Amino acid sequence: MSDVERPRTDRVLMIAIGVGALLLGILGGHFLRHNETPVLAGSNDIPMELATAFVQIARRVEPAVVNISTVTQPPGVGSRDRSSTNNQLPFDLARPGEKEVTRGNGSGVIVDASGFILTNHHVIVGADRIKIKLADGSEYPGRIVGSDQETDLAVVKIDPKGDLPSARIGDSDRMQVGDWVLAIGSPFGLDQTVTAGIISAKDREATELRNRPSFQHFLQTDAAINRGNSGGPLINLAGEVIGINTAIATSTGDYNGIGFALPSGEAIQIYRQLTRTGRVMRGFLGVMTDPVTAQIAKVYGLEAARGAIVSIVTETYQVNGREVATPAARAGLRLGDIVVQYRGESIRSSQDLIRRVAGTPIGAEVEIKVVRSGQEVSLLTTVGTRPMSENGRQSIASAISPEEGNRGLGFDVANMPIVSARDTDLQGVSGVMVVRVEPGSVADDAELRRDDIIEQINRQSLTTAMQFKRALERVAAGQPIVLQVFRRKSTAPRRFVSLNKP
């Protein structure tokens, strides 16, 4: 081979080696891509930082979490009010057996170094003795500073020898669905138990859980909460208390994956009132309202279902032994008004309005915007003090022959019976009486009840069953029906029932 041909051969060989190396690299990369181990959320690399945060938060907050044990003597042995059994979580369907002495167990959190502790009302109500056990094992007798059954919150005080570790209160309004949280407490008496989960819902209204109006609203979490966790703190990743664990949704009495905590924003307001005066004073307007359904929105001229429709306006109430006009009456609120704004903030629901009014300072002047006959009207009034107790109404007992009703809706109506002079509850009430509601019918699903008085249908007043029948015939299939109903067997006797005509 000549000297001229040898360099040419060397170049060809080097090119071939390079191409081969390139092909091997491509094939190797392809092989590695298809065989690499994916990084999963459950692997050790990902949760390490989160686990470290959990450890640090637990160490920081646990010293401020206490165990609360109670002793309640049986009736007639110098015991207190027996309105609730200690340590039974709300919505818990389990019932303990009868005992001579009831011993309860719950949790609490120290929120002031001098010994003020937040817990649940149902943990300490009726207790004759309260014992507080701190994280270091020391024990103190506890005394009740104040308790609020409406929000199921209580403040207990102990007298320590020095300052105690206390938890920092966070802003519950800033929590978002999906945020990590820790629950700390004494489930089944097991002190300093920490569970983790996320916020699974916000603004869970008590009406969704108890089917009755309430001042409670909750953060919902899947962090494990069991009997004994009541009153313990729900903690965010900043180590702040953003809720007081209060209730569980269960049919067994134990954790089924859904727990509820009173938001810290509500809890701190109640705490301040209880430590200052020993009781809670709430704002009062003097109205009862119902949720605005899609049918109500359509019939009353709203673009969407929002706000709270006024079902009752109380004209007067007692203040220091004097009969005075209610704030609602002074403002000129009327039956059928739909409250869409309160103090400049939109009203989402009836329960939302209840909470906002209850949380308004007594004596504050407020602007209320309502939709009345399709027009927005602004009203002004001064918020009063909610009465401590309100009387309910008696039930109707009558037997009359029905006129022709509506079988498609599943109920029958009849003319109202003659009202006795002694039957003051029905004085001034006119309409038609519901005499039959078929179980499982459209009317039953809408919660219409036998003995209800239907005063209006789609804003048309009624006096006879024949009027009702004709008004119903004018409603086309699939269109909304809104009934203004008077119900004596209720703490809210006037309400709105809405449905669609089949």
**CA 276/CA 112 separation, integer angstroms:** 14
Q: Are 324 and 316 in contact (CB under 8 A)?
A: yes
Catalytic residue among 92, 152, 337, 352: 152
Phi, psi of 92 (to 5 degrees): -80, 120
**Is 34 an active-site residue?**
no
Q: How many CA atoms lie within 13 A of 6 on its CB side?
A: 3
Q: Check: CB of residue 234 under 8 Å from CB of residue 199.
A: no
The rounded distance, in Å, linking the Cα atoms of 106 and 446 is 39
217 catalytic residue (yes or no): no
Task: Find all residues with CB under 8 Å of 23, minimum gap 6, and list them.
Answer: none
Torsion of CA 82, 215, 447, 91, to 10 degrees: -50
Q: Which of 219, 220, 221, 224 is nearest to 195 (CA)?
A: 224
DSSP letters of 89-153?
-TTB---PPP-SSEEEEEEEEEEETTTEEEE-HHHHTT-SEEEEE-TTS-EEE-EEEEEETTTTE
Rg over CA atoms, the chain: 32
Task: DSSP letter for 406, please.
Answer: B
Cβ within 8 Å of residue 501, ≥6 positions away: 408, 409, 472, 475, 476, 477, 478, 479, 480, 481
| Amino acid (1-letter code) at residue 342 | Y
Secondary structure letter of residue 64 according to DSSP: G
**Residue 362 forms beta bridges with which residues?**
none
What are the DSSP calls for 38-63, one per residue?
P--TTSSTTTHHHHHHHHHHHHHHGG
| Close Cβ partners of 68 (under 8 Å, ≥ 6 residues apart) | 105, 106, 107, 108, 117, 119, 123, 124, 130, 131, 132, 133, 142, 156, 186, 231
In angstroms, the CA 373 to CA 299 distance is: 10
Q: Which of 69, 92, 107, 122 is catalytic?
A: 122
Kindly give, in sequence order, each residue whose CB lies less than 8 Å from that of residue 250, ignoring residues fewer than 6 positions away: 89, 91, 92, 93, 256, 258
Question: Which candidate in 200, 230, 264, 441 is catalytic?
Answer: 230
Type of residue numbered 27: L
The reply to whether 441 belongs to the active site is: no
- Known catalytic residues are 122, 152, 230
